[in-house]
A and B are shown apart, each in its own frame.
Chain A
Amino acid sequence: MIPAPFEYFAPATIDEALGLLREHSDAKVLAGGQSLMPALRLRLAAPDTIVDLAKIDELRGVRDDGDVLVIGAMTPHSVVQSSPVVNEHARLISLATATVGDPQIRHRGTFGGSLAHADPAADLPAVAVALDASFVIAGPDGRRTVSAADFFQGVFSTALGEDELLVEVRVPKYTGWGAHYEKFNRVAQAWSIVSVAAAVRLDGDSIAEARVALGNMGSTPVRATAVEQALVGGPATADAVREAAARAADGTSPVTDLNGDADYRRHLATVLTRRAVLAAAGTA
């Protein structure tokens, strides 16, 4: 279908983009367009103005910045997926990104766009929450940084204001950690029914640190803190992990839809968490 008419701008700098967002009250930011374009074409969204970020070079690329990795909002999934520094220091991101859509979508869709879109079934939000990433947001009053836990606020809803831009995401380094992303979906290209992002650091045979987050188990990604606490200090054995993973769905209220009801999702969360943690430990 054909989108409703809109005015189109393609600024070259972040400041210019912010200026446009200030001037046009009904504006939408366009990144890779993999979520926004379908919404426009179905006329589910019909903004007056589109501000395309494609020409803003400062939003692109992956940088190593000492203790953290910095991923520009406009970095396409395909670049993130093949980045050696991401693979070395935040392998969970590489693994999850590889499951997003298909190669065409990964070449157009962006890291920041996916996070800003905040679809509960998307893959990267849970990863960002698991890894305690921080989100750098630029707005009329300058820049601010928001933790992943605070960034995601609801279904398609984030800490971003209407006149703000997500500029980059800062991810602490998890060098040497094992990681696994367990995505459960019906066909290869579909969104997840439930997903689990897990990273663990081993100390000998036992788990020294663990990060586990669940996707699509609520309106925002859920950090499985009960699982993390149960894992830390324990052995990375099947039994110990199974016991810890049994708590994965504690306190969650997932949706019921064609793919399953809340009970099924809670059950899946425990199974997938067990598998994700064991697999992560196996690669540590």
Chain B
Amino acid sequence: MTTTEDRPATEIGNPRLRKEDARLITGRTRWTDNIVLPGMQHIAMVRSPFAHARITSIDTEAARAATGVVAVITGADIADEQGALPNAWAVVSDQQAPVHPSMAVDHVAFAGEIVAMVIARTAAEANDAAELVDVDYEELAPALELRAAARDEVIAHPDLGTNVSAVWAYDSAESGTGGDVEAAIAAARNGGIVIEKEIRQQRLIPAFMEPRAIVVDPTTEQMTVWSSTQVPHFVRIFIALVLGIPESKIRVIAPDVGGGFGGKLQFTPEEVLTVIAARRTGKPCKYCETRSESLMAAHHGRDQWQQVTLAATADGTVTGLKVELTVDMGAYLGLVTSAIPLLGAFMYNGIYKFPSYHLGITNVFTNKTWTDAYRGAGRPEATYAIERVMDELAARVGVDPLEIRERNWIKHEEFPFSTVSGLQYDSGNYEAATAKARELFGYDDLRKEQAERRESGDPVQLGIGISTYTEMCGLAPSRWLGSMGYVGGGWEHAAVRMLPTGKVEVVTGTSPHGQGHETAWSQLVADRLGVAFEDVEVLHGDTQVAVRGLDTYGSRSLAVGGMAVLAAADKVIEKAKPIAAQLLEANTDDLDFSAGRYGVRGTDAGMTLAELAFAVFQGHKLDGSAEGCLDADATLDPDDFSFPHGTHLCAVEVDTETGETKIRSYVSVDDVGVVVNPLIVEGQVHGGLAQGIAQALYEEAVHDDSGTLITGSFDQYLLPGAPDLPRFETARTETPATTNQLGVKGVGEAGTIASTPAVVNAIVDALRPLGVTDVVMPCTPYRVWKAIQEGAQS
């Protein structure tokens, strides 16, 4: 396999502006809602206002009679036709799950569940008529509080008889990856240190910028489905499987998609119902959710209780970690709902090398919106738990939290390292990232200022928060996914095509929704083929164009999809070789490929790929000994995950009079391996930081006692804006991954994973002298103030 060193790396590392941004930012592009088809009808959904109820009757007469209404459809009307929504990841063989209908038939299990839909000539008419659908409900007691639900106090799905969906465990002693954690804890209780902590991972809403939207045109030979989704390939397969339409009769297009953050890694009720509406009426149908619907009914994320027990020796050497998770599935299992905690299961040990580990997971149903992937998916929860607890350990030992980490982390020279959770970390350099962060942050000066403010009793206290994280990226080796119970694979596909005029078409199976693949993949191919960046066009997100693919999530696109692109480009170079030899009347052994040109060694003779492409197009001079085609496909299954890591440092000022937290400075040093486009990496880090900080300070989906979402608008569900965030100082170290040919890792989730514990650690650090040892997220001024009051009393 070729390596990067022997090729001029002109594009790799080039901070190019993204070629897709002009159209995305101006909106002059194909957002799904911009699609207008002749005769197109519009859909409005009627949703349950109750978290748990029986539907006793639905009167649709008035709605049917309203102006412009084409049809009103209830769950009973399509009970046989709608099938059930899939869960693609049974974490245990006896996993319990209720049937997941796209439209409730007689039982609703969360507020926001669809109970009827109106199809009308205009969106306004559909909305007006939806208000006339008269649904009678018999309210049932809702299962809302997660831990009470885990005890089956109230049952979310009476037919199921229990709220517990699955119980899963990993134990290092049983798996042979370490010792017995109970023994470690027992030993630590005897002269060592045991930290026990109950952590709440609050429920979050992905809150992508473009609400979900679907257009279905049933009049084409292949029914065309446009959806604002991260996963067009999944959507195609599931429409086929769920609705019994031959896959060959379905084309799915994810046009430009305005964000996802995991929230659009889903096969949705709305997709199924829009297809049903179009199929039944024989006309194109459009459904665009409102922001209120999006916040209420698009899947949520996080929502766990974490019971953490850390054992250590008196000097702070960690000897074991035990974690019991109770995880809120919400009302149903979506695509990978059940596996979200599993994706974090191997990350609780973080960057540390302690010898024993146990993780237990209990997946539980409640009568709330179903949960599923949200940026980081399982790994932010894991990182938060270990990084918060490491700070508590440092406090107990009485050393600087950076020092406690250093005592326990895997040293540079110890890679590759087999972890206590059974993964193999291929590479990493925690010392380098931490040293760099420490310097950029001015760590020692800030500690000095902190001491002074404590001394003077300043009402505004300074806190320093640390997060040294790692994560697993590049979902995923297919064999690993299979071994964990996932029905799909983790490979990726790409095609590279030389056009007659010398331009290059690249087709990727990944499906960008803000990540900038058009730019980054162009850079990859320009470098590899020696063509101009501008000559490369990247196509994606349409199953007629990108026929094979597994789409975008889990920081997989570059590490898996990008490597498939390179593999296809390498095949093009290989395919060109015999053709060049023939046309140049040379022996293939005498040809060298460099800077986009096959040259005959020792002579000036040679042909560029563009010239070869044109010669292939003409075919005049080919003798038929080699295939006359410079197009190639490649499918690539990754060997292993990649493991980005880094050190984030956060300084906060906490106003002890009001409880307000202000982030004063934030330094992130991320090691994401080789960087293709530093500007894109920077953008991913910035966005990730904003989302992770928002979990720490602002966001929480809150339901009232009847299960209604209180935070049902951006008025209540607070997202930070630019004025609320500090200037981020981002830097990198570069330790190439050894698990792929370019040495890249993944950066899509790093910022989100790392930043939440950095902020909360900083707040607790500021307030520790006031008796505060924890603040529940989001750390609102009110909660911080209360923690200070309680600290003063204790």
Binding site for B on A (CB under 8 A): 1-2, 4-5, 42-43, 102, 184, 186-191, 193, 258-261, 264, 267-268, 271-272
5 pairs of A and B residues whose beta carbons are closest in the complex: A188-B723, A260-B782, A1-B290, A187-B724, A2-B127
Contacts of A272 in B (CB 8 A): 658
Contacts of A102 in B (CB 8 A): 721
Contact status A42-B292, CB under 8 Å = yes
Q: Using known A-B contacts A193-B781, A258-B710, A264-B786, determine if residue A186 contacts B698 with beta carbons closer than 8 Å.
A: yes
Contact status B658-A268, CB under 8 Å = yes
Contact status B124-A2, CB under 8 Å = yes
Contacts of A43 in B (CB 8 A): 131
Q: Which residue of B lies closest to A190 (CB)?
A: B718
Contact status A187-B720, CB under 8 Å = yes
Contacts of B723 in A (CB 8 A): 187-189
B537 interfacial contact with A, CB 8 Å: no
Contact mask B642-683 → A, CB, 8 Å, 1/0? 000000000000000110100000000000000000000000
Contact status A186-B721, CB under 8 Å = no
Q: Using known A-B contacts A1-B127, A2-B124, A271-B657, determine if residue A264 contacts B721 with beta carbons closer than 8 Å.
A: no
Contact status B127-A259, CB under 8 Å = no
A-B contact pairs, 30 of them (CB 8 A): A4-B131, A5-B124, A5-B128, A42-B292, A43-B131, A184-B660, A184-B781, A186-B780, A187-B721, A187-B723, A187-B724, A188-B721, A188-B723, A188-B724, A190-B715, A190-B718, A191-B715, A258-B702, A258-B710, A258-B711, A258-B716, A258-B780, A259-B781, A260-B780, A260-B781, A260-B782, A261-B782, A264-B782, A271-B657, A271-B658
Contacts of A193 in B (CB 8 A): 781-782
Contacts of B721 in A (CB 8 A): 102, 187-189
Inter-chain pairs besides A1-B292, A2-B124, 15 sampled, C-beta below 8 Å = A1-B127, A1-B290, A186-B697, A186-B780, A187-B698, A187-B720, A188-B724, A189-B721, A193-B781, A258-B711, A258-B716, A260-B781, A260-B782, A264-B786, A272-B658
Q: Using known A-B contacts A190-B718, A258-B710, determine if residue A4 contacts B128 with beta carbons closer than 8 Å.
A: yes
Contacts of B660 in A (CB 8 A): 184
Contact status A186-B718, CB under 8 Å = yes
Contacts of B716 in A (CB 8 A): 258
Contact status A2-B781, CB under 8 Å = no
B440 interfacial contact with A, CB 8 Å: no
Bound Cα distance A5, B125 (Å):
9
B641 interfacial contact with A, CB 8 Å: no
B687-735, CB < 8 A from A? 697-698, 702, 710-711, 713, 715-716, 718-721, 723-724
Q: How far is the CB of B393 from chain A (nearest CB, A)?
A: 31
Contact status B720-A259, CB under 8 Å = no
B123 interfacial contact with A, CB 8 Å: yes
Contacts of A184 in B (CB 8 A): 658, 660, 781
Contact mask B39-75 → A, CB, 8 Å, 1/0? 0000000000000000000000000000000000000
Contacts of B724 in A (CB 8 A): 187-188
Contacts of B110 in A (CB 8 A): none
B272-321, CB < 8 A from A? 290, 292
B785 interfacial contact with A, CB 8 Å: yes
Which of A187, A191, A259 has the most chain B CB within a 10 Å cutoff? A187
Contact status B128-A259, CB under 8 Å = no
Contact mask B574-596 → A, CB, 8 Å, 1/0? 00000000000000000000000
Contact status A187-B127, CB under 8 Å = no
Bound Cα distance A102, B292 (Å):
21
Q: Using known A-B contacts A187-B721, A258-B716, A271-B658, determine if residue A2 contacts B702 with beta carbons closer than 8 Å.
A: no
Bound Cα distance A4, B132 (Å):
12
Q: Which residue of B lies closest to A184 (CB)?
A: B658
Contact status A259-B292, CB under 8 Å = no
B738-794, CB < 8 A from A? 780-782, 785-786
Bound Cα distance A136, B698 (Å):
40
Contacts of B702 in A (CB 8 A): 258
Q: How far is the CB of B692 from chain A (nearest CB, A)?
A: 16
Q: Which of B123, B713, B782 touches A259 (beta carbons < 8 Å)?
A: B782
Q: Which residue of B lies closest to A188 (CB)?
A: B723
Q: Using known A-B contacts A5-B128, A260-B782, A261-B782, determine if residue A187 contacts B658 with beta carbons closer than 8 Å.
A: no
Contact mask B440-453 → A, CB, 8 Å, 1/0? 00000000000000
Bound Cα distance A255, B78 (Å):
46
Contacts of B782 in A (CB 8 A): 193, 259-261, 264
Q: How far is the CB of B63 from chain A (nearest CB, A)?
A: 14
Contacts of A2 in B (CB 8 A): 123-124, 127
Q: How far is the CB of A249 from chain B (nearest CB, A)?
A: 14
Bound Cα distance A1, B44 (Å):
10
